[in-house]
């Protein structure tokens, strides 16, 4: 991995419902660079496990399943997309069975090695904004731009509940709060690449900020650097 491929990587990490996804997508659109949602890949693997009836806490079974999975990556409207065994999994990635199991898939070191390799390869497509949990710490430790987005737990639960009400017709803040706490615990205490603030990352607490404010902060910083350096 050369520094060249990392010269225009904007790494955005943080816990779920920190505002990361919306901010990353919008920042990429404004910067006119590719957007990569790394969590979607962990969710994709989880979707396959659920579909095949594989127990996600059985690492050996998951690793065996992963070895027989065909991934194809492509870019559509500056967004990295993929198929799994020829199927587009997008509509299933946010479903309840996937949501509740994905953190278990993401603790398996072999799964992480596979995903990190694929994620690094995406930089060959060109400049990008990538969001996740370990982008600035593991995937692109030399990324030129690193952000860590966070928000108070109650605010994150409120946002996620609103999202669920829109997509699934119901979302209870208390229930979401405990589900997020459970996932945060798995994500931040796992042995391989736990959720952490990457070295050199700028921390933004998005509680009380609008999406536009966070996006503008990131885009203006990146553009200012671009204007004064050879980053293009």
103 binds ligand DC (CB under 6 A): yes
Q: Interacting stretch for ligand DC, rule CB under 6 A, among 47-55, 130-138, 157-165, 213-221? A: 130-138
134 binds ligand DC (CB under 6 A): yes
Q: Interacting stretch for ligand DC, rule CB under 6 A, among 26-34, 47-55, 129-137, 171-179? A: 129-137
Q: Which of residues 20-39 bind ligand DC (CB under 6 A)?
A: 38-39
160 binds ligand DC (CB under 6 A): no
Nearer to ligand DC by C-beta: 5 or 38?
38
43 binds ligand DC (CB under 6 A): yes
State the chain's maximal CA–CA distance in angstroms.
Answer: 53
Residue from 5, 11, 12, 16 in contact with ligand DC (CB under 6 A):
16
18 binds ligand DC (CB under 6 A): no
State the Cα torsion 92-93-99-100 to the nearest 10°.
60
133 binds ligand DC (CB under 6 A): yes
183 binds ligand DC (CB under 6 A): yes
Question: What is d(CA 79, CA 222) in angstroms, rounded to the nearest whole number?
Answer: 19
CA dihedral for 38, 39, 45, 47, sign (positive or negative) = negative
Q: Which residue is nearest to ligand DC (CB)?
A: 39
Nearer to ligand DC by C-beta: 132 or 198?
132
Q: What is the binding site for ligand DC (CB under 6 A)?
A: 16, 38-39, 42-43, 102-103, 106, 132-135, 183, 187
């Amino acid at each position: 991995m050369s520094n060249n491929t990392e010269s225009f990587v904007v790494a955005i990490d943080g816990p779920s419902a920190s505002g990361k996804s919306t901010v990353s997508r919008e920042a990429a659109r404004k910067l006119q660079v590719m957007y990569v949602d790394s969590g979607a890949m962990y969710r994709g693997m989880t979707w396959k496990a659920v579909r095949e009836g594989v127990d996600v806490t059985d690492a050996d079974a998951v690793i065996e399943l992963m070895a027989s999975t065909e991934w194809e990556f492509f870019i559509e409207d500056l967004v990295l997309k993929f198929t799994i065994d020829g199927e587009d999994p997008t509509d299933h990635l946010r479903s309840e069975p996937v949501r509740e199991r994905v953190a278990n898939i993401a603790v398996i070191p072999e799964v992480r090695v596979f995903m990190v390799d694929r994620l690094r390869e995406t930089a060959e497509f060109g400049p990008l904004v990538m969001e996740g949990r370990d982008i600035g710490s593991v995937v692109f430790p030399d990324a030129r731009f690193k952000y860590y987005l966070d928000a108070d737990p109650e605010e994150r639960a409120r946002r996620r509940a609103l999202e669920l009400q829109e997509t699934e017709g119901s979302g209870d803040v208390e229930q979401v709060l405990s589900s997020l706490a459970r996932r945060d615990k798995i994500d931040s205490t796992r042995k391989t690449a736990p959720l952490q603030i990457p070295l050199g990352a700028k921390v933004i607490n998005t509680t009380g900020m609008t999406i536009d404010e966070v996006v503008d902060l990131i885009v203006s910083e990146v553009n200012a650097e671009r204007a004064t350096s050879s980053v293009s």
